Structure 1
Amino acid sequence: MNPNSFEKLEYPKAIQQLTSYAQTYPGRKLAEQLRPMTDIGVIKVRLAETSEARALIEKGSNVPLPSLEGMEEAMGLLGTGYIFSERQLEHVAKFIRSCGQLRRFMESKTAVAPTVAAYAASLHDLQELRSAIEGSIDRGRIVDEASPGLAGTRKKIRMADEKLRKRLESLLSRHGSILQERLIGQRNGRYVLPVKKEYRKRVPGIALDESASGQTVFVEPAEAAGLQAELASLRADESREELQVLAGLTETAERYAHELSVNVEAVGYYDFLFAKAKWALAVDGRNVELNETGKIELRGARHPFLAGKAVPLNVAVGGEYRSLLITGPNTGGKTVALKTIGLLTLMAQSGLLVPAEAGSELAVFRSVAADIGDGQSLDRSLSTFSSHLTNVIGILAEAGPDSLVLLDELATGTDPGEGVGLSIAVLEELHRRGAVVAATTHFNEIKEYARAAPGFRNARMAFDEETLRPLYRLEMGEAGNSYAFVIARKLGIGEDIIGRARAIAKSLKRGGAHAAIPGAAPPPAAPPATARANGRRSDRKPRRGTSRPASPSATKAAEADEPHAGDAAADRPLQAGDAVWIPSMRTSGIVYRLPDERGNLIVQVRKEKIKINRKRVNLYIEGKHLYPENYDMDIVFETVENRKKRKAMSKRHVEGVRIEKPPEDG
Structure 2
Amino acid sequence: MTDTERLLEFHKIKEKLIELACTDKAKEKIQDLTPYLSETKVKAKLRETTEAKAMIETCGNPPLTALQGIEAWIKLAEQGGCLTPEQLEAVSITFSAVKRMKDYLNRGKSYEIGMAYYEENLEPLDDIREELNQKIRGGKIDDYASKRLKTLREAIDRTDAKMHEKADSVIKANKQYMADSFSTVRNGRLCIPVKKEYKFRISGSVIDKSSTGNTLFIEPSSVAKLYEEMQELRIDEENEEIRILYTLTAMLSDKAEVIQQNNHTIEKLDFMFAKAKLSIEYDGIPPEVNTERYIRLRNARHPLMDRKVNVPLNFEIGKGVNGVIITGPNTGGKTVAIKTVALTCMMAQCGLHVTCEKAVICMNNAILCDIGDGQNLSENLSTFSAHITNVLDILRTVSRDSLVIMDELGSGTDPAEGMGIAIAILEELKKSGALFLVTTHYPEVKEYAKQESGIVNARMTFDKESLKPLYQLVIGEAGESCAFYIAGKLGMPARMLERAAKAAYAESYNARWGGITGGEEFQKTSHPRIQKAKKVSRQENAMKYQLGDSVMVYPDKKIGIVCQTANEKGVLRVQLQDKKIWISHKRIKLQVAARQLYPEDYDFSIIFDSVEKRKARHQMERKYVDTELVYDES
TM-score category, normalised to shorter length: 0.7 to 0.9
Aligned to 1:349: 349
In structure 1, C-alpha distance between the alignment counterparts of 2:153 and 2:290, rounded to whole Å: 71
SS in 1 for 2:64: coil
- 8 Å contact from structure 1 (residues 283, 307) kept in 2: no
- Contact 2:24/2:68 (<8 A) preserved: no
Query: Which amino acid letter does the alignment assign opposite residue 184 of structure 2?
Result: G
Higher mean C-alpha deviation, range 448-457 or range 104-113:
104-113
- What code does the residue aligned with 1:272 have? F
| Aligned twin of 2:390 | 391
Q: Are 1:362 and 2:342 an aligned pair? A: no
The aligned residue for residue 488 of structure 2 is 489
- Aligned-pair distance for 1:76? 6.2
Once residues 217 and 398 of structure 1 are traced to their aligned partners in structure 2, the CA distance between those partners, rounded to angstroms, is 86
Is the 1:329–1:461 contact (alpha carbons within 8 Å) kept by the matching residues of 2?
yes
Cα shift at 1:197: 3.0
- 1:445-475 Cα shifts (integer Å, max 9, x gaps): 1111111111111110001111111111111
Q: Counterparts of 2:11 and 2:507 in 1: how far apart (Å)?
A: 43
Residues 211-360 of structure 1 aligned to structure 2 (within 5 Å): 211-308=210-307, 309-357=309-357, 359-360=358-359
Q: How does 1:481-630 map to 2 (within 5 A)?
A: 481-507=480-506
Give the secondary structure class of the aligned counterpart of 2:206: strand
Q: Is the 8 A contact 2:327 2:478 kept in 1?
A: yes
2:278 counterpart letter in structure 1: W
- Counterpart-to-counterpart distance in 2, 1:394 and 1:425: 15
Q: Secondary structure at the match of 2:410?
A: coil
Q: Secondary structure at the match of 1:43?
A: helix
CA–CA separation in structure 1 for the residues paired with 2:89 and 2:508: 80
Residue 20 of structure 1 aligns to a residue whose secondary structure is helix
Given that residues 52 and 113 in structure 1 are in contact (C-alpha distance below 8 angstroms), is that contact kept between their aligned partners in structure 2? Answer: no
CA deviation vs aligned residue, 1:316-362 (integer Å, no higher than 9, x gap): 112221111110011111011111111111111111111111x3211
Q: Distance in 1 between the 2:363 and 2:197 partners?
A: 92
CA contact (8 A) 1:371 1:407 kept: yes
Q: How many residues align?
A: 508
C-alpha displacement of 1:505 = 2.9
Q: Is the 8 A contact 2:54 2:113 kept in 1?
A: no
Q: Provide the rounded CA distance (Å) in 1 between the counterparts of 2:382 and 2:189.
A: 79
Is the 2:74–2:252 Cα contact (8 Å) retained in structure 1? Answer: no
**Does 1:173 pair with 2:156?**
no
508 and 38 in structure 1: CA distance in 2 versus 1, 3 angstrom threshold: farther
Structure 1 position 213, deviation (Å): 4.2
Distance 1:291 1:237, change over 3 A: same
Q: 1:353 to 1:509 in 2, by over 3 A?
A: farther
1:382 Cα offset (Å): 0.9
In the TM superposition, what whole-angstrom CA distance separates every residue of 1:641-661 from its partner, at most 9, and x where no partner exists?
xxxxxxxxxxxxxxxxxxxxx
Shift of 1:427: 1.4
CA contact (8 A) 1:366 1:402 kept: yes
- Which stretch shifts more, 69-78 or 479-488? 69-78
Letter in 1 for 2:346: L
Aligned equivalents of 2:417 and 2:507: distance in 1? Answer: 14
- Provide the aligned C-alpha RMSD in A: 2.3
Measure the CA separation in 2 of the matches of 1:288 and 1:62: 24
1:441 Cα offset (Å): 0.6
- Structure-1 residue corresponding to 2:32: 33
CA distance in structure 1 between the aligned counterparts of 2:378 and 2:386, rounded to whole angstroms: 13
Change (3 A) 1:367 1:416: same
Q: Which amino acid aligns with 1:103?
A: K
Contact 1:160 1:227 in 2 (8 A): yes
For the 8 Å contact 1:25–1:72, the answer to whether it is kept is no
- 1: distance between equivalents of 2:122 and 2:349? 28
Aligned 8 A contact 1:451 1:457 in 2 = yes
2:20 alignment partner, SS class: coil
Residue 86 of structure 1 and its aligned partner are, at CA, apart by 0.6
Q: Which letter maps to 1:204?
A: S
Q: What is aligned with 1:661?
A: none
1:13-92 equivalences in 2 (<5 Å):
13-58=12-57, 61-68=60-67, 70-71=69-70, 74-75=73-74, 77-92=76-91
Is contact 2:279–2:353 with CA below 8 Å preserved after alignment?
yes
Aligned residues of 1:136 and 1:143 also touching (Cα < 8 A) = yes
Q: Does the CA-based 8 Å contact 1:399-1:433 persist in structure 2?
A: yes
Q: Hey, what's the Cα distance between the residues in 1 that align with 2:508 and 2:382?
A: 27
Aligned to 2:190: 191
Q: Does the CA-based 8 Å contact 1:120-1:266 persist in structure 2?
A: no
Any idea what SS the aligned residue of 2:320 has? coil
Counterpart in the other structure of 1:621: none
Give the stretch that moved more between structures: 16-25 or 158-167: 158-167
- Residues 345/448 of structure 1: CA separation in 2 closer, same or farther (3 Å cut): same
Alignment of structure 1 residues 97-246 onto 2, 5 Å: 97-112=96-111, 114-147=113-146, 149-246=148-245
**Is residue 451 from structure 1 mapped to residue 450 from structure 2 by the alignment?**
yes
Give the AA of the match of 2:13. Answer: A
Letter in 1 for 2:330: N
SS of the equivalent of 1:226 reads: helix
**After TM superposition, what 4+ stretches of structure 1 lie above 6 angstroms from structure 2?**
none
Identity %: 39
Point out the more displaced range, 452-461 or 211-220: 211-220
Whether contact under 8 Å (1:56, 1:113) holds in the other structure is: no
Distance 1:177 1:70, change over 3 A: farther
Describe the shift of the 1:445–1:176 C-alpha distance in structure 2 as closer, same or farther (beyond 3 A): same
Report the structure number with the largest CA radius of gyration. 2
Equivalent AA in structure 1 for residue 324 of structure 2: L
Which region of structure 1 is more displaced relative to structure 2, 254-263 or 432-441?
254-263
Of 416-425 and 160-169, more deviation after overlay is shown by 160-169
1:582 — aligned with what? none
Residues 364 and 401 in structure 2, CA contact (< 8 A), matched pair in contact too: yes
Give the whole-Å Cα distance in 1 for the aligned partners of 2:491 and 2:45.
56
The CA distance in 2 between the partners of 1:60 and 1:350, in whole Å, is 25
**What's the CA shift for 1:101?**
0.9
Q: Where in structure 2 are there 5+ consecutive unaligned residues?
A: 510-634
Deviation of 1:97 after TM superposition, in Å, equals: 1.2
Cα offset, 1:156, TM superposition: 4.2
Given residue 266 of structure 2, which amino acid in structure 1 is its aligned partner?
Answer: V
Amino acid at match of 2:394: I
TM-score normalized by the length of structure 2: 0.76
Residue aligning to 1:427? 426
Moved more, 477-486 or 204-213: 204-213
Q: Separation in 2 of the partners of 1:110 and 1:401?
A: 43
CA distance in 2, matches of 1:17, 1:332: 28
- Aligned in 2, Cα 1:238/1:147: closer, same or farther, shift over 3 Å? same
| TM-score scaled by length of structure 1 | 0.72
Distance 1:221 1:387, change over 3 A: same
**Which amino acid in structure 1 is aligned with residue 350 of structure 2?**
S
Equivalent-residue separation in structure 2 for 1:409 and 1:142 (angstroms): 69
Letter in 2 for 1:389: I
Does the C-alpha gap of structure 1 residues 153 and 131 become closer, same or farther in structure 2, counting only changes over 3 Å?
same
Q: Residues of 1 paired with 2:148 and 2:382: CA distance?
A: 80
Query: How far apart in 2 are the matches of 1:112 and 1:381?
Result: 61
Alpha-carbon contact 2:59-2:104 (below 8 Å) kept: no
Greater CA drift, 264-273 or 66-75 = 66-75
* 1:155 shift after superposition: 4.8
Matched to 2:98, the amino acid is C
| 1:87 Cα deviation from its structure 2 partner | 0.7
- Secondary structure of the structure 1 residue equivalent to 2:108: coil
**Unpaired segments of 5 or more residues in structure 1?**
511-666
Following the alignment from structure 2 to structure 1, what is the Cα–Cα distance between the partners of residues 249 and 177? 52
